[in-house]
Amino acid sequence: MAETQENAEQKIFVQNRRGVAGEAWVWFTAMGLTIGVAMVIGLLSLIGFRGLKVFWPQRAVVLQLQSESGSTQTMAGVITKEQEKAGHYEEGSEKQIEWQIFQGNKEVLGLSYKFVDYTDIQKVEYPLNLIRVERLEYGDAFGFPVSLKTPDGGMIDAGDPAFSGELAKAVKQATRVRKEIKTIEKKQIGKINYAIEDKKIKLKGLERKQKAGTAEAEKINAELKDLFARYEILAAKARQLRDQSAGYVLVYKISSGQEKNLPAEKMVDFYFPNQLNRIERFQRFCHRIFHFLADEPREANTEGGVFPAIFGTFVMTVMMSLFVTPFGVMAAIYLREYAKQGVLVQIVRIAVNNLAGVPSIVFGVFGVGFFVYFVGGSIDQLFFADRLPTPTYGTGGILWASLTLALLTVPVVIVASEESLASVPNGMREGSLACGASKWQTIQRVVLPAAAPGILTGFILAMARGASEVAPLMLVGVVKLAPNLPIDNIFPFMHFDRKFMHLGFHIYDLGFQSPDSEAAKPMVFATTLLLISLVVLLNLSAIWIRERLRKKYVVGTF
Amino acid sequence: MNTMTDDLKKTEPKTPPVTVGQETYEKHDQSKSDVRACITVDHYDFFYGKTQAIYDAHFVMPEKQVTAIIGPSGCGKSTLIRNINRMNELVDGVSHTGDIRIYSQSIYDPQLEVTELRKRIGMVFQKSNPFPKSIYENVIYSLRVSGQNRKSILDEVCEMSLKASALWDEVKDRLHQSAMSLSGGQMQRLCIARAIANRPEILLMDEPCSALDPIATAKIEELIYELKKDFTIVIVTHNMQQAARVSDMTAFFYMGNLVEFGETKKMFMSPEKKQTEEYITGRFG
Ligand SMILES: Nc1ncnc2c1ncn2[C@@H]1O[C@H](COP(=O)(O)OP(=O)(O)OP(=O)(O)O)[C@@H](O)[C@H]1O
Ligand SMILES: [Mg+2]
């Protein structure tokens, strides 16, 4: 009898287990999370892998090719991809593989990327003396060094043990001179150009007022003359530097056997990809990443670095945050603390929420119409009339771009701030009022500090959204290549009317607007990785601040 | 404050004796001739929208004594105490008739800034509500909002208030840490320190011990006893023993009505109303 009772108990137990309501839903939720996480991880690892691979100094190969027709060919470069050949296969035939080779030497070979049939490859070699040169123009070059011509007419043979040391010295010197020239041209001559421009505009203004011959105009003319003289001196200095640096010339043979000359001042860097050991490889990897981050773009943005784009993105995001945060928080304070909660406030709230769903391009259009043409145009009329018809603020610029994005992200800030204001316990407000504080004092001294972490969350969301937005920017001031940074050494240091570069737009431009899309692909991945990293970095720093605030105000338990 | 008491002396004869039950307040006053009326609740009705929460309350709380307000939950104790510093005005749609006077001045006097009124009345809430600031900043909050920024004064006030609320020894080494790191009992004492920091005339306490353990409760009761020397204290409590221990006067409310008001000793020994007796002995409520 005892046994049957046990059985019965067991049965009940089993029944109960079956009967737990909603078990299936737990699985659904877990599945949803898994899919989401898998997609994010997949995307990030793809971008991370492809983005970092760009900088890894891969080994270079020399391929002996023989096509079906019997012609032979040698080819040097880096294997970038192995894939199945596209097209239809005959029934039963083997699948054909092809390799994508980055062969560089664009000025000779035309295309820097080429596909070769796997079956055509006769021999694969990794010669130690294969050199890869990064050049100012035409991208990378692969070749076998022959000799180095020195300025005094000498010649160092490639077999000489001193060869690579001398070459490195030559490149280093050339880089230094280039930097000096750049400093002169960009900073000093840039400053003079700016001043000349300014004076010319003043002169034009005087002319318009029919005061062309007056003493004032004369003075400006004299100043102009002086500026031109200074310009000449600097230009001569730059020319002299340029001549000085000339001299070293690398002679190398490309895979087809052709001999080429490359002056050192056209070289950015060089290395022997098959001679590097693991540590050197890693050093070079870091070196290339550094140059990607710190250099300016070359060759229609497909070469060089992305520094101006990083800088533009950063400055714009910070400016946007400076605009959006006070504005959004103030609006939220009014909505939550002062406005009488009623139908009207509810309508306003819904409208604000809906604003977050408006397509971003619409904000771009609004930015052009309102900020650029109306506000910017009016500013030009009032303050920069001398420069018209050349617009100053009446054209896209970093100020208008950040204002447009601020408008775009303000609903996020308002909603998050309102939530966090609402979550501040009423007891705190009462405590403050009971101490004789006015309402504003209460908000300022008690409510806002308590709501700060939540407000920062909104700020983080807004920043992430703003930093990764591209569409509206294209209308209000982003350009493919900006001649100057929005912040520089020329008074007044911050030029909010300037156009700027942006990583998001850079990606678009590289991927879809560049003449050689295959060549731009690695840069697209690298830039995407960078943009994501920048957004993550900005977010992490904001989160760090928030956690510090939280810790400070952590609510004790009884 | 002095001018107020002078005012009071002048106006006192004019106000009629306040009747509470069969006993008049004047009668009570005769036994302690130095006691003056501090808070006068004068035929006070209070409404949340259309619901009336207090019906014609009428009694006087003496100066520098502890008045306990007792009664079952929902009878309007908090409503009354929160009206003394006009805290209930934060609720939408409230209204009142009658008057509450501090000494002889009506709290609804249009010339009286509500912030000024609240600076004269400290309040300790049922649920402790320290600000997300350091302990130090919490205590001197009321001075800061009145524009006092002299460090020497602030330091002195902070130390004095914390000593008065028996918290000084526990926190003197960590004044600049967040107040949120204190225990519940310490928080409540911190709120008391904050309430007395700018030397108000009146201290309102709404169930200050409801969330505390017996030891912390004992400390706060001791504290009330100490504070009585300087402040007029109004305390709401659900704990009959506590009311009996700390208060001099007791008001018993039931469903918004003041049922009985009198000396605590007398009320607990021989209540006049049957309802009071039943509530005090725990037979209903
Ligand atoms: N904000 C409010 N709006 C509307 N009615 C309220 C509000 N606050 C309190 N009341 C009502 O007023 C009456 C008195 O409430 P009150 O908070 O004063 O009770 P209490 O005596 O303090 O009770 P407890 O001992 O539970 O704290 C109750 O019926 C309550 O429902
Ligand atoms: Mg209450």
CA distances in angstroms from B243 to A159, A239, B4, B125, B234, listed in the order given? 103, 96, 29, 17, 11
Which residue of chain B comes nearest to A446, CA vs CA?
Answer: B131
Strand partners, A44: none
Beta pairing, strands B94-102 & B37-48: antiparallel
Q: Is B152 helix (H, G, I), strand (E, B) or coil?
A: helix
Task: Please report the pLDDT score of residue A13 as a whole number.
Answer: 56
The pLDDT of residue A88 = 66
Mutation target vs A (from B131, B139, B202; most A CBs, 10 A cutoff): B131
CB neighbour burial string for B175-184, b if at least 16 within 10 angstroms, e if fewer: beebbbbbeb
Instruction: Decide the pairing of beta strands A155-157 and A140-149.
Output: antiparallel
Residue B23: pLDDT band by 50, 70, 90 thresholds? Answer: very low
The ipTM is: 0.84
- pLDDT at residue A247, as a whole number: 79
Q: Is the confidence at residue B5, as pLDDT, over 50?
A: no
The protein residue whose alpha carbon is closest to atom 29 in ligand 1 is: B74
- Determine, yes or no, domain membership for A258: no
Name which residue leads in pLDDT, A550 or B43: B43
Return the HEC string of A349-389.
HHHHHHHCCCCHHHHHHHHHHHHHHHHHHHHHHHHCHHHCC
Between the CA of residue A502 and those of A478, A484, A513, A535, what are the distances in Å?
Answer: 7, 13, 15, 13
**Each residue's pLDDT tens digit, A335-369:** 998 888 889 999 999 998 888 888 999 999 999 99
Distance of CA A296 to the CA centre of its chain: 12
Distance from CA of B210 to the nearest CA of A (A): 12
The answer to the question of residue A28 being in a domain is no
pLDDT band at A96 (very low <50, low <70, confident <90, very high): confident
Helix, strand or coil, per DSSP, at residue B191 = helix
Phi and psi, residue A549, nearest 5°:
-65, -45
- Number of domain units in chain A: 1
B187: tokens are 């928080």
Q: Which residues from chain B sit within 8 angstroms of residue A554, using beta carbons?
A: 178, 180-181
Q: Which of B116, B129, B187 sits opposite A556 (nearest CB)?
A: B187
Q: Do residue B118 and residue A441 have CB atoms under 8 angstroms apart?
A: no
Task: Output the CA B275–ligand 2 centroid distance in Å.
Answer: 20
Is 60 exceeded by the pLDDT of residue A541? yes
CA Rg value for chain B: 19
Q: Does residue B55 belong to the interface with chain A, where contact is any CB pair within 8 Å?
A: no
Mean pLDDT over the full length of chain A: 84
Nearest to A446 among B131, B146, B191 (CB): B131
Q: Decide if A554 and B133 are in contact by the 8 Å CB cutoff.
A: no
pLDDT at position A256, please?
Answer: 83
Q: Is A182 on the interface with B (CB under 8 A)?
A: no
Stronger pLDDT, A135 or B6, i.e. the higher one? A135
Contact present, A500 and A401 (Cβ < 8 Å): yes
- Could you tell me if A101 and A75 are in contact, meaning their C-beta atoms sit under 8 angstroms apart? yes
Q: Please report residues of A whose CB lies closer than 8 A to that of B211.
A: 558
Q: Cα(A86)–Cα(A105) distance, rounded to whole angstroms?
A: 26
How many Cα atoms occupy the beta-carbon half-sphere of A81 within 13 Å?
14
Is the Cβ of A548 closer than 8 Å to some Cβ of chain B? no
Q: DSSP letter for A339, please.
A: S
- Alpha-carbon distance A419 to A454, whole Å? 8
- The vertex-A504 CA angle with A499 and A510, nearest 5°, equals 95
Cβ–ligand 1 contact at B48 (below 6 Å): yes
pLDDT band (50, 70, 90) for residue A5: low
Is any atom of ligand 1 closer than 6 Å to the C-beta of B73? Answer: yes
Per-residue pLDDT, A17: 55
pLDDT at A33 over 90: yes
CA distances from A558 to B127, B134, B178, B212 (A): 11, 18, 15, 9
Which chain A residues contact residue B91 at CB under 8 A? none
Ligand with minimal distance to B57 CA: 1
Output helix, strand, coil percentages for chain A, rounded to the nearest 5. 60, 15, 25
Q: Do A556 and B182 meet the contact criterion of CB atoms below 8 Å apart? A: yes
Query: Which chain A residues touch B146 with a CB distance below 8 Å?
Result: 436
Nearest-CA residue for ligand 1 atom 3 is: B48
pLDDT for A66 beyond 90: no
Interface of B with A in 233-252 (CB under 8 A): none
Q: What is the pLDDT of residues A16-27, one digit of tens each?
A: 555 567 677 888
Residue pLDDT, tens place only, B199-255: 888 999 998 888 777 887 888 888 888 888 888 999 999 888 899 999 999 999 999
Residue A487 vs residue A1, higher pLDDT:
A487
Mutate which of B141, B146, B203, B217 to disrupt the A interface (most A C-beta within 10 Å)? B141
Task: Pull the structure tokens for residue A84.
Answer: 């199945």
Cis amide prior to A389 (ω within 30 degrees): yes
B135-155: per-residue pLDDT in tens? Answer: 999 999 999 998 888 999 999
Per DSSP bridges, beta strands B121-124 and B37-48 are unpaired
Q: A179-201: per-residue pLDDT in tens?
A: 888 888 877 888 888 888 888 87
Angle at B122 between CA B9 and CA A421, to 5 degrees: 145
Is the model's pLDDT at A38 over the cut of 80?
A: yes
A535 inside domain = yes
Residue B34 has pLDDT above 50, yes or no: yes
SS3 B61: strand
Confidence of residue B22 (pLDDT cuts 50, 70, 90): very low
Provide the pLDDT confidence category of residue A370 given band limits of 50, 70 and 90.
Answer: very high
- What average pLDDT does range A296-305 have in this prediction? 80
Residue nearest to atom 25 of ligand 1 (CA): B73
Q: Does A556 touch chain B (CB under 8 A)?
A: yes
Mean pLDDT over all residues of chain B?
Answer: 83
pLDDT of residue B282: 77
Looking at the domain assignment, is residue A385 inside a domain? Answer: yes
The partner residue sitting opposite A435, judged by closest CB among B142, B178, B181, is B142
pLDDT surpasses 70 at B27 = no
Residues 6+ apart with CB under 8 A from A109: A103
Indicate which residue's Cα is closest to atom 31 of ligand 1.
B74
Q: Which of B87, B141, B182 is closest, CB to CB, to A430? A: B87
How many CB pairs (< 8 A) connect A and B? 89
| DSSP tag of B169 | H
How far lies A371's CA from each of A364, A375, B52, B172, in Å?
10, 5, 55, 56
- Give CA separation, B22 vs A312, B13, B231, B266, in Å: 83, 21, 28, 13
CB contact (8 A) between residue A445 and residue B122: no
Average pLDDT of span B162-179: 88
**A133 touching chain B per CB within 8 A:** no
- Summarize the confidence of residues A8-12 as an average pLDDT: 58
Structural domain including A326 reads: 315-552
| Phi then psi dihedrals of residue A176, to 5 deg | -65, -45
Q: What's A95's DSSP letter? A: P
Residue carrying the six token digits 């040391």: A165
Q: What is the pLDDT of residues A452-463, one digit of tens each?
A: 888 888 888 888
CA distances from B224 to B221, B268, B280 (A): 5, 20, 22
Domain B6-280 has CATH 3.40.50.300: yes
Residue located nearest, by CA, to atom 16 of ligand 1: B76
Which member of A435, A554, A557 has the closest CB to residue B118? A435
Domain contains A362:
yes
Q: Is the pLDDT of residue B89 over 70?
A: yes
Mutate: best of B136, B180, B210, partner A, most A CBs <10 A: B180
Q: Which of A238-242, A282-286, A475-479, B104-108 has the highest mean pLDDT?
A: A282-286
Report CB contact under 8 Å: A437, B141.
yes
pLDDT at residue B252 in the model: 93
pLDDT, tens digit (0-9, with 9 covering 90-100), for A496-518: 778 888 988 988 888 888 777 77
pLDDT tens track for A373-409: 898 888 888 887 776 777 777 788 889 999 999 999 9
Residues 435-494 of A with CB under 8 A from B: 435-438, 441, 445-446, 449-450
Instruction: Indicate which atom in ligand 1 lies nearest the CA of residue B256.
Output: 14
Q: Which of A103-107, A127-131, B212-216, B273-277 is predicted least confidently?
A: B212-216
* Cβ pair B116:A436 closer than 8 A: yes
pLDDT band at residue A558 using 50, 70 and 90 as cut-offs: very low
Average pLDDT for residues A211-236, to the nearest whole number?
82
- Over residues A80-90, the mean pLDDT reads 77
Instruction: Give the one of B121, B132, B184 whose C-beta lies nearest to A553's C-beta.
Output: B132
Domain with residue A454: its CATH number is 1.10.3720.10
Mean pLDDT, range A215-224, rounded to an integer: 82
Q: Is residue A36 part of a domain?
A: no
What's the N-to-C CA distance of chain B in angstroms? Answer: 39
* B250/B254 Cα distance (integer angstroms): 13
Looking at residue A395, what is its pLDDT? Answer: 80
Closest residue, chain B, to A550 (C-alpha): B132
Residue B252 Cα to ligand 1 middle (Å) = 16
Kindly report, residue by residue over B250-278, the tens digit of the pLDDT: 999 999 999 999 999 998 888 888 888 88
